[in-house]
Amino acid sequence: MNKTEILKNYDHKPKFSFSEIWEKHNSAIVTFFCLIFILLAWVAEGNSSLHFLRIPFYLLAYIIGGYQKAYEGLETLIKEKDLDVDLLMVVAAIGAASIGYWMDGAILIFIFTLSGTLEGYTMERSNKDISSILKLRPEEALVLVGELEQKVKVEELKIGDRVIVKPGDRIPADGIITEGYSAINQASITGESIPVDKIPSNEVFAGTINGQGSLLIEVTKTSEATLLAKIIRLVQEAQSEMPPSQLFVERFESIYAKTIVVSAILLMILPPLLLGWTWDKTIYKAMIFLVVASPCALVSSIMPVILSAISNGARNGILFKGGVHLEHIGQVKVIAFDKTGTLTQGKPIVTDIIPFQEYSQEALLTISASLELLSEHPIAKSIVNAAREKNLTLERASNLQAIPGFGVHGIVHDKVCEIGKELLKDSHNISKEQIKIIQMLEEEGKTVIFTKLDQEIIGFLAIQDTPRPQAKESIQLLKNKGMKVVMLTGDSTNTAKSIAKSCGIDEIYSELLPEDKVKVIKELSQKYGKVAMVGDGVNDAPALATASVGIAMGAAGTDVALETANIILMSDDISKVAYAISLGQKTSGVIKQNLTFALIVIVSLITANFFNGINLPSGVVGHEGSTFLVILSGLRLLR
């Protein structure tokens, strides 16, 4: 290896630069050095030879620990003409120093800075937990330029671009198929539980999942933004949006801070005139009052709790768009579920096997599965899986030919066989009773697949989407919490009753258009109170927006549903709905506990200051200790 290669491979850059460490831990560093200078001042104060250094050390502790708070407080005062807690603390510390209580003021600065550091780490922890659960969808599309394939970002797609979508990929943009055919899983867009066969000239939608065939799609609509950008925005909104309780406390803080300042000024002026107190004693009492009456603990009672709960939800696959939705989800009385893709899996299975004439169920399933053995179509897979579950021996069909939109043609056991949905049209050996059975199955929302042998239909299979494995247990969890659970669906009443029965839902609303779902949500809200709606598709978006809390399925859900909803289940696990409700209820409970505790401490310290007499360090420890405790109390929800 020559010198050039050695220099190339050797990394001269330090793994962590000072600027990176400062950016990440500046608050902790400031708090640490503030403590160091307080300790040095304490040592100098007890040593006659170093006594002259105590004031410089105290000044350094004040400047290092209090500069940022003083700057923020003055900025609020100058720009917003308002007082905040930061400025009150700094003024109290300076006041203590002005009458010789340097150590008392320094301890106030240190504990106040430490509280701010802890709160900052709480928010950072929340950011990390939220970001870690974001499983990004593909942001790139494969564009055909001439004869070459080129990867581009989804937001760079233009109308008229030709996009290649490989089997199993998510379609990156709305468009028209120009080449190829496949079955597209578009349950998240249209609510259809069975994948839809698509051929050239058919429209496809962004966010739907391609099946077994490669497609060439001409883009008809551009993408305004990637899902990543949307999720990042949701995270930012979750951090910045404040719940009503926090907004109330912040409005209260402004009025309260002004009241405290006026009261402190009166306390510094009136006692010497009315009670004969010395000025030193009066100012000292006023400084203690300024500290213990400040609403630090009240202000810190809410946001650490909210951030911790949002973080907890993120680690459990629940993304809250803001604290207000945490409060609301804890107050809901009714949970309304969409059916397709929400309560059901969106994956078809064989539910009925109906053979004709002398054929048995096993014979019909064997012939059907042999024809579908090589197919990647979701319905074909469900038929093959059904045969394998019964341990049937399958023979690979020869001369296999797929007919898009109709089915598959091939030879099994030396006989010409066909399977598909449209074979009934040319059949003559179906009785009226069999047609009634077919109609009944279709009314139940099942897809009927016919199998032909030597031009005669030998039977048919019924395919249907099935409830998610956790659906019944999830509904029961909600019922145990006293929730009323209903189902809203655009499907037929028979299909709705079938799924509702298997999930344990007693009340259903079927054959609903999107505007009908909105109407039902409004009626339920008027009758019972707050309503949460759980859905995944475009057709659910109006109901999600109307509900007190909209909950979207993150993995299968459409961009419109994700945009409209207030809460997103990133793993599509509907059992998390009950978890979200519990988290919301616990969040409200912890906030109430914190506010009560903070008020008790403030009243107790103010009373002690006037009647029993406490020194400034005791007031600082009591006041900032209560702030520290309510922050720790909020962190309980990280568990």
Q: Are residues 209 and 184 in contact, defined by beta-carbon separation less than 8 angstroms?
A: yes
Let me know the angle formed at the C-alpha of 547 by 336 and 559, rounded to the nearest 5 degrees.
90
Three-class HEC string of 9-75: HCCCCCCCCHHHHHHHHHHHHHHHHHHHHHHHHHHHHCCCCCHHHHHHHHHHHHHHHHHHHHHHHHH
Residue 189 token pair: 């867009």
Structure tokens at 428: 């003559």
φ/ψ of residue 202, rounded to 5: -80, 150
Please report how many Cα atoms fall inside a 13 Å half-sphere around the Cα of residue 24, on the Cβ side. 9
DSSP state of 558: -
Angle between helices 279-292 and 616-635 (to 10 degrees): 0
CB 549 within 8 A of CB 329: yes
Given 338, 536, 540, 572, the catalytic residue: 338
Do 569 and 474 touch, CB atoms closer than 8 A?
A: no
Q: Is 338 a catalytic residue?
A: yes
- Confirm if 353 and 361 have CB atoms less than 8 A apart: yes
Q: Can you give 88-122 as a three-state secondary structure string?
A: HHHHHHHHHHHCCCHHHHHHHHHHHHHHHHHHHHH
State how far the alpha carbon of 22 is from the alpha carbons of 17, 26, 32, 64, 66, in Å. 9, 5, 13, 14, 17
Is 16 exposed, middle or buried (CB count within 10 Å of its CB: 0-12, 13-18, 19+)? Answer: exposed
Catalytic residues, which ones?
A: 338
